[in-house]
Amino acid sequence: MKNFLKIRRKMGKTGGRTPLKFRHIVPNMVTSGNLLCGLFSLMMTLNEKYIVAAWLVFFAVLFDGFDGKVARMLGGGSQFGLEFDSLADLVSFGVAPAILLYQVSVRSLNLFGAVAACFFALCVALRLARFNVVHVPGPFQGLPCPAGGLFVSSFVIARVNMPPVFTAVILLAVGGLMISSIPYANMKKLTKKTADPVKCFALFTLFVGAFIILKGGAPLFLFSMYIASGLIKFDWGTWLLRREIEARNEE
């Protein structure tokens, strides 16, 4: 009876709910930035501001990469955060790029264009559902959604004028890569202790140099390299490891 009364007093103070802790709130706030970028991208597309809409997908990728790091740093990862992140990714890297490419290019193909855009968004949803259910260590199985969403949006950022049929084929092909089992590099687990500083500096130099030289074409160039790396089975995550750690993993 005494234990029951203690529980009742605790429930009275919190309303029967467990109060959210700061370490759980902050990662979800970062994920909200991802979702808001996707929503604003859709709004910009509807207002025919296509370049802005495409860059918002790029900023959504930054938020998506940052929320996991914040969660690991604060120890605030949760099942709620995982589900919320997937919903945000579906909007930012599935729906927003599909509508953007539909409005910019494939709308002129009528039904075929609509099918290509819908197929891309559907593949993002399937990729996210598989990722949440099947946890495979090592490389990603299939092209990650942020990479796929930004790759198709980067054609708009680079102001590449493509025939609508070619754009539709790209949407179908990238969608297929996302639901495939082709391994793609997972660099989220790289740390200061495991990463090779020389190789990381070289990759950073390539990243900065691409934006200096190519400017708006940089995202298209960089994500084309990432997509090609999966097709030729080159693992950036393994390449960036220190030699002794890479040799240990091979053994």
Residues 6+ apart with CB under 8 A from 113: 102, 105, 106, 107, 164, 168
End-to-end CA distance of the chain: 60
Tens-level pLDDT at each residue, the chain (251 residues): 445 445 445 544 444 455 556 566 777 788 889 999 999 999 999 999 999 999 999 999 988 887 767 766 766 567 777 888 889 999 999 999 999 999 999 999 999 999 999 999 999 999 999 988 887 777 888 999 999 999 999 999 999 989 999 999 999 999 999 999 999 988 776 777 778 888 889 999 999 999 999 988 999 999 999 999 999 988 888 888 876 555 555 55
| Residue 122 confidence (pLDDT) | 97
Residue 39 DSSP symbol: H
The residues near 110 (Cβ < 8 Å, ≥ 6 apart) are none
For residues 13 and 216, what is the distance between their CA atoms, to the nearest angstrom? Answer: 54
Q: Are 116 and 172 in contact (CB under 8 A)?
A: yes
Q: Which sequence spans correspond to the domains of the chain?
A: 20-183, 193-251
Of 143, 152, 155, the residue nearest 217 (C-alpha): 155
| pLDDT score recorded for residue 169 | 96
Instruction: Please give the pLDDT value at position 4.
Output: 44
Distance CA 142, CA 127 (A): 8
Q: What is the pTM of this model?
A: 0.84
Rounded to the nearest 5°, which phi and psi values hold at 140? -65, 145
| Sequence-ordered list of residues with C-beta below 8 angstroms from that of 246, at least 6 positions apart, any chain | 238
pLDDT at 7: 45
Q: Which tokens go with 224?
A: 């084309």
CA distance 156 to 162: 10
Non-local (6+) Cβ contacts of 57 within 8 A are 37, 38, 41, 92, 93, 96, 97, 100, 149, 150, 153
CATH number for the region 20-183 comes to 1.20.120.1760
- pLDDT value at position 24? 66
CA distance 251 to 242: 14
Strand partners, 141: 183
Q: How many residues does the chain have?
A: 251
CA–CA separation, 116 and 163 (whole Å): 14
